[in-house]
Structure 1
Amino acid sequence: MSLLTRLTYVLPHRALSSLARTLAYSRQPAVKRWLIDTVTAKFGVDLSEAAQPDPGAYESFNAFFTRELRPGARVPDDDPRALLMPADGRISQCGPITTDADGGGRIFQAKGQSFTVAELLGDDDAADAFRGGLFATVYLSPKDYHRVHMPWAGKLRETVHVPGRLFSVGPDAVRTVPRLFARNERLVCHFDTDFGPMAMVMVGALLVSGVETVWSGVEIPRYGDAVTVKDYRGEHVTLERFAEMARFNYGSTVIVLLPAGVAALAPSLTPESPVRLGERLATLS
């Protein structure tokens, strides 16, 4: 375990993330430009793909970080049976949701590390729908496009805001922090699709100053100690395949859950493999 990961056990996660949010939304020219220039240089951000390639044109660092892509920069796989990669980044892990000794579903995190679907979703009953299904965990680094899109068309049923820690979700933390994704604060989005339920889990991380959705705006930060469920049945929130769903205000992770027997993951997907929005995530059976 690296020194930074060890420090995250004792650092004031929410205070640091609140400070990061203040800086990210600052419109002070010197502050925003320093942040934009630092991240662009350190992580090799490709602004040629952005709808606005001029770094000086963004009103804040957050506006830069959640920038739109220029039209045509990403296109969906043209196979109508393909479920799409929801974001740019790299695969942390993907594969079958296995069955644990108690009969529940379990998701592989890294060698020696795993967590249950019920822990991730914050709901035992909701986890039942994904027993024997598939998962894909996609890590977004600071250089990546930070908007998350729909793998498949779906109607929003409910969201579940699960408070928690804000550990880093970098590679060292994923390898060494037990049940990382089930411990961090997250927003679980449940969709109904023509093949059954689909869950999209937006996982917060250290210095992530927010998660926003296209249907309700800012969802995190809204720090609290209780799980908050919003029921969208009857609200008719329907998103098409490849449509924008949500965005991160700093690098983090999105986890896609699919039920059993509906799809096969793309065989090219392996841990650490780079991926781009719109590529094939899985193929419907």
Structure 2
Amino acid sequence: MKKQLYRAFVELSGNRVNSHLLRTFTTSRLSKGINRSFTKTYKLNTEEMEKPLHEYKSLHELFTRRLKEGTRPIDADEHALVSPVDGVLAHVGPLNEQSAFRVKGQDYTLDEMLGSKVKSQLYCGGTFVILYLSPSHYHRIHSPISGRVLERWYLGKKSYPVNQQGLEYGKRPLSKNYRHITEIDVNKKHMAIVKVGALNVNSIEITHHDEEVTKGAEIGYFTFGSTVILLFEKGLVDLDPQLQCPADVKVGMRIGTIHPSKDEEQ
């Protein structure tokens, strides 16, 4: 029962009024009273937290917590592709020549997800990775790769559930929900980090605004429920063959190999 209640706090509801009320409560000092219970219910690792539990002044502050420096070592291999979040590696696979993929019986097109047919064509024949975050996870987002930021943009106004039922019966939440996209040039190829909101109009905060991004650097955080989709142009990465879905991953953990640039190969 507690898990259902707390999940409602962090995933909110599709009802605008309920979402506003829950958000108001979770960001208030009143919600601090359930921080300890929330931590126990979801088995949060207090040893990893940047601050002692009692210093978090609201449930929202606890939910968006940072970790102690060095808690998530980033794979140092310059060709390592790493997980951008703590979460569940839920789906991986190829993007077909129509720049589309299928999850839980639903077809998703990159035209819709990225809001541009021109951009979607860049990823034809490439690779996608989907990572889900639950209330128990650390909700800061880090870059899985180093490169030059080409563009950042927001799409969508309303969000639907990003869970098993939402994926099977909802309105294609991965390509319809409120989302923020960061597109990066890596070795003269493209990749996109799509941050998808879940049942909340504005659940994504961006903290990185520079033109260059370094692997492992924080780029933003989710304030409520969340999903991250990684899109790679054909020939940019190979996912590690031993990856299985679903699988638990953490920030900085190697999930694939980045192909070297032509200059490096020579």
TM-score (norm 1): 0.80
User: Which residue is equivalent to 1:106?
Assistant: 100
Deviations 1:237-271 (A, max 9, x none): 22211100110012310111110012111123222
- Conserved 8 A contact 2:87-2:249: yes
User: Which residue is equivalent to 2:66?
Assistant: 68
Is 1:23 aligned to residue 25 of structure 2? yes
Tell me the CA shift for residue 173 of structure 1: 2.2
- Conserved 8 A contact 1:140-1:251: yes
- The 2-side partners of 1:50 and 1:61 are apart by 14
User: Which residue is equivalent to 1:179?
Assistant: 172
- Conserved 8 A contact 1:185-1:203: yes
User: Which residue is equivalent to 1:281?
Assistant: 255
- Secondary structure at the residue paired with 2:119? helix
User: Which residue is equivalent to 1:228?
Assistant: none
Residues 102-251 of structure 1: matches in 2 within 5 Å? 104-110=98-104, 112-207=105-200, 210-215=203-208, 236-251=210-225
- Secondary structure at the residue paired with 1:126? helix
Deviations 1:37-67 (A, max 9, x none): 3432332212221111x22211222221111
- TM-aligned CA distance change 1:61 to 1:243, over 3 Å: same
- TM-aligned CA distance change 1:241 to 1:71, over 3 Å: same
- Secondary structure at the residue paired with 1:98? coil
User: Which residue is equivalent to 1:86?
Assistant: 84
- The 1-side partners of 2:212 and 2:16 are apart by 32
Q: Select between 169-178 and 246-255 the one with higher mean Cα deviation.
A: 169-178
Is 1:253 aligned to residue 227 of structure 2? yes
User: Which residue is equivalent to 1:46?
Assistant: 45
- The 2-side partners of 1:269 and 1:16 are apart by 39
- The 2-side partners of 1:39 and 1:284 are apart by 38
**AA of the residue aligned to 1:20:** L
- Conserved 8 A contact 1:43-1:142: yes
- Conserved 8 A contact 2:86-2:137: yes
TM-score (norm 2): 0.86
User: Which residue is equivalent to 1:230?
Assistant: none
- The 2-side partners of 1:15 and 1:241 are apart by 39
- The 2-side partners of 1:78 and 1:147 are apart by 20
- The 2-side partners of 1:108 and 1:32 are apart by 41
Q: Which runs of 5+ in 1 are unaligned?
A: 1-10, 217-235
- Conserved 8 A contact 1:39-1:142: no
Q: Select between 267-276 and 254-263 the one with higher mean Cα deviation.
A: 267-276
- Secondary structure at the residue paired with 2:47? helix
User: Which residue is equivalent to 1:55?
Assistant: 53
Report the aligned-residue RMSD: 1.9
Tell me the CA shift for residue 24 of structure 1: 2.4
**AA of the residue aligned to 1:43:** Y
- Secondary structure at the residue paired with 2:244? coil
- The 2-side partners of 1:201 and 1:238 are apart by 17
**AA of the residue aligned to 2:16:** R
- The 1-side partners of 2:26 and 2:201 are apart by 10
**AA of the residue aligned to 1:274:** D
- The 1-side partners of 2:122 and 2:66 are apart by 34
- Secondary structure at the residue paired with 1:48? coil
Regions of 4+ moved over 6 Å: none
